[in-house]
Structure 1
Amino acid sequence: MKVVVVGCTHAGTSAVKTILNEHPNTEVTVFERNDNVSFLSCGIALYVGGVVKDPAGLFYSNPEELTEMGATVHMEHNVTNIDTVAKKVTVENMQTGEVFEESYDKLVNTTGSWPIVPPISGIESKNILLCKNYNQANEIIRQAKDKQKVVIVGGGYIGIELVEAFAESGKDVTLIDGLDRILNKYLDPEFTDILEHDLQERGIKLALNQTVNGFEANENGEVTKVVTSENSFETEMVIMCVGFRPNNELLKDKVDMLPNGAIIVDEYMRTSDKDIYAAGDSCAVHYNPNGGSAYIPLATNAVRMGTLVGKNIVEPSVKYRGTQSTSGLYLFGFNIGSTGVNVNSASHFGLDVRSVVVEDYYRPEFMPTNEKVLMKLVYEVGTNRIVGGQVMSKYDITQSANTLSLAVQNKMTIEDLAYVDFFFQPVFDRPWNYLNLLAQAAVEQERKIATGTEVTV
């Protein structure tokens, strides 16, 4: 069997390695536009901030490893067309200009995503950069060396992490976002209010609920000012972090997609074309909180989906378990984890929810040191099924987000979590683990609602 893999970052690398490990007689040919594979873009802020000194550690594979495993790897080769009827791809060698065709029995589309570039006046100015791949990370580091004023556009994870990296290196940082809160997709106001206050206390300017209307540049074409709906900010450098779109032009109108262009796959990573598989940022995922499809471009989703492509390429054998969009973040000493929906996003996914917020210590107060944990549990009205959760502390409790992720995936109720068996040891936690206490607060809230002693809002 001949398999062609288009694109080789997280999902593509995982697919190739799994195919060759489990089906070593498969003929695998890889086409990648960049000069590297498997770059962990989630480590860019750590690289930019100097925490990661050697960028080699941000790659978990390379073309040589894939070649040694048996793949034929073509770097800096761009696939320009996929003929799904004739089952062949048209490829351009980006170094020589040579164009040729390659046939396939099965095709793996792992073309990933690309940063959204809004059509804003002046966006073509110099020093307006994107943040996605290794080359862009190096360009950010190169340009930032002699810059003091930096504007980040977009208050999601990548934007926030870059804010921290530049602030820690002494830059004058402004964060602009069209929404009224940072990290809007991941956290509710109880958490973002604390984080925003902390950012401002550190001298970081927040321009929230403001849209960017244009960029002004000097006679050399270098950006000097960002103009928003309410203000303007002088700058020497702008980094756009406003989100990602799937890279699926090659398969447009050839396989089923969501309105945003994300490919729809079944539980075995097959598209509507039985000979084409897809994984990673190019795809929609099965979103467990509501049982539907969603576009959630995360590396965790990509490596899992890519691995499943490899396991199912010969015949369907291992089902995709779906995702909760579980994530973690370290920001100026705060350890933050979230999974599933929050109260703000629940309605978007068609869920009617209630929630509880609890703040407590992570271990007994007789211990010589301690830290408070701020927690929120989101659950479905009527079923009490857990559909999301958020945790934050100066102590690293982020693994609790993984526990809550399992609760969502396995359709656990607030009662299940309230009384589930967790260990107790005073060094680590309390007789009732803080997640038990959080769920017990939800159970008590429902009891009061049922008996009419608490009014819902």
Structure 2
Amino acid sequence: MIEEDFMKVIVIGCTHAGTSAVKTILSDHPEAEVKVYERNDNVSFLSCGIALYVGGVVKDPEGLFYSNPQELTAMGADVHMEHDVTDVNIAKKEITVRNLKTDESHTESYDKLVITTGSWPIIPPIDGLDLENVQLCKNYNQAQEIFKKKDDKKKIVVVGGGYIGIELVEAFANEGREVTLLDGLDRILNKYLDPEFTDILTDELVNHGVNVHLNEMVKGFYGEDGKVSKVVTSAGEYEADMVIMCVGFRPNTELVKDQVDMLPNGAILVDNYMRTSAPDVFAAGDSCAVNYNPNGGHAYIPLATNAVRMGMLVGKNIAGETLSYRGTQSTSGLHLFGYNIGSTGVNDASAGFFGLETRSVYVEDFYRPEFMPTNEKLYMKLVYEVGTHRIVGGQIMSKYDCTASANTLSVFIQAKMTIEDLALTDFFFQPVYDRPWNYLNILGQAAMAQEQQMAKEEQVNA
């Protein structure tokens, strides 16, 4: 049942999820009183564009914002920038806020609370983090700092081989810097891709002059005159004019610790209407766990796409159950040294973590007929559940832009479709674009053939 529109809503944090929530609340409930508290001096910054900005592809960083306080104010929000919420008392339905410019604090009540406090870079407990030119890479101010300092830096060390780290490595390598990539794990991009893909991409990094050092834990940063000059790891030492930390993110949820249900890492659990375990408290974005379709459980996947969807759902459901969350597959894309890469759902490395028993099939093929004057190889992998044949993950990579196919596989996962469905789905044929059997059909057929062969072998061995 939908409640009356008039209500006082407080939104804590205003990047992707917060901006989306505020816009939707005001659009659907124009009579609502919406107050926004944001500790930074900007909203809606697309951190996925930092490497494009640092590498000079994006010339004007203002283009990395898709909203601003003035727009939200014009829509009817009461926006308070550079205000830090220091306490949340859910039992009393009150928050305490500090004005960062005046240092004054006040307490106020709410009818509905929206927690869109986002995430923050994981900062390992290592020596030398306070040295100059040891940088974090998350928000607009940090991006500006990297951009201002980078010009005279010749030796740059990036710590962390996830998406942001890899994109920064490419940007600096393309500028001719001496780039070292350090990661404590044995593969780059391990959350998204299996070895068939990461082996190719690691070789590509090396071919472009990047010094790749995996299975090395950073022990500390050292320098002279307060500036970093050396990184020491478990296996070596590396000179550095600048170090950029990209070792992952953690949810910013200390404000409501022990007041709402969370994952062990602090990610808030929400239902399909973005409601937390506490009455009248909603959450969205990087502060939350997503409802993960491959296993029907929860996962912490801080992506902007997840955040804007969840923020919209907060607005749709702030006054009652209106629109249900469809869940997520963790679908993402990446461009690296000419390769176009897409992934969705689980991979071989992560399936067990999510309690899934899976098999996979890997296929290399070309995206269009051999008689075409040019062509590009495709690298594809499909992960499916044993027994049901339900598709739960996929990876695809090529110099050809095949990344939209990750979206197609995402739909298959969300719809609980099978390898047989993929093998026979009606995709168009036109030689400029594909073959009589689309490459995704071929991938599904390869999975079917694998299952048929395994069934024959079981009969022989029975």
**TM-score, normalised relative to structure 2:** 0.97
5 Å-filtered alignment, 1:232-271, equals 232-271=237-276
5 Å-filtered alignment, 1:48-59, equals 48-59=54-65
Aligned residue type for 1:42: C
Q: Is the 8 A contact 1:154 1:242 kept in 2?
A: yes
Cross-structure match for 1:424 = 429
Residues in 2 aligned to 1:377 and 1:40: alpha-carbon distance in whole angstroms: 30
Displacement of 1:84? 1.2
Cross-structure match for 2:229 = 224
Residues in 1 aligned to 2:269 and 2:94: alpha-carbon distance in whole angstroms: 21
Residues in 2 aligned to 1:111 and 1:198: alpha-carbon distance in whole angstroms: 37
Aligned residue type for 1:86: K
Q: Which of 59, 70, 93 is the aligned partner of 1:87?
A: 93
5 Å-filtered alignment, 1:124-143, equals 124-143=130-149
5 Å-filtered alignment, 1:123-162, equals 123-162=129-168
Residues in 2 aligned to 1:145 and 1:102: alpha-carbon distance in whole angstroms: 46
5 Å-filtered alignment, 1:63-142, equals 63-142=69-148
Aligned: 1:200 with 2:206? yes
Cross-structure match for 1:23 = 29
Displacement of 1:380? 0.9
Aligned residue type for 1:329: L
Cross-structure match for 1:184 = 190
Aligned: 1:280 with 2:277? no
Displacement of 1:365? 1.1
Aligned: 1:305 with 2:324? no
**Per-residue CA shift, 1:277-333, capped at 9, x if unaligned?**
000000011111111111110001000000000000011111111110000000000
- Of all paired residues, the percent bearing the same amino acid is 72
Runs of 4+ in 1 over 2 A off after TM superposition: 453-456
Displacement of 1:124? 1.8
Displacement of 1:405? 0.4
**Per-residue CA shift, 1:191-246, capped at 9, x if unaligned?**
0111111111111000101100111111x111111111111101111000000000
Long gaps (5+) in structure 2: 1-6
Displacement of 1:454? 11
Q: Which of 377, 380, 383 is the aligned partner of 2:385?
A: 380
Long gaps (5+) in structure 1: none
Residues in 2 aligned to 1:266 and 1:349: alpha-carbon distance in whole angstroms: 19
Residues 240-249 or 348-357, more deviating: 348-357
Cross-structure match for 1:447 = 452
SS at match of 2:152: coil
* Residues 104 and 168 of structure 1, relative CA distance in 2, 3 Å threshold: same
**Per-residue CA shift, 1:84-120, capped at 9, x if unaligned?**
1221111111001111122110000000000000001
Q: Is the 8 A contact 1:448 1:454 kept in 2?
A: no
Aligned residue type for 1:175: L
Aligned: 1:398 with 2:375? no
Aligned: 1:389 with 2:390? no
Residues in 2 aligned to 1:415 and 1:359: alpha-carbon distance in whole angstroms: 19
Q: Is the 8 A contact 1:38 1:60 kept in 2?
A: yes
Q: Is the 8 A contact 1:449 1:455 kept in 2?
A: no
Aligned: 1:165 with 2:171? yes
Q: Which of 34, 41, 46 is the aligned partner of 1:35?
A: 41
Displacement of 1:43? 0.5
Aligned: 1:342 with 2:380? no
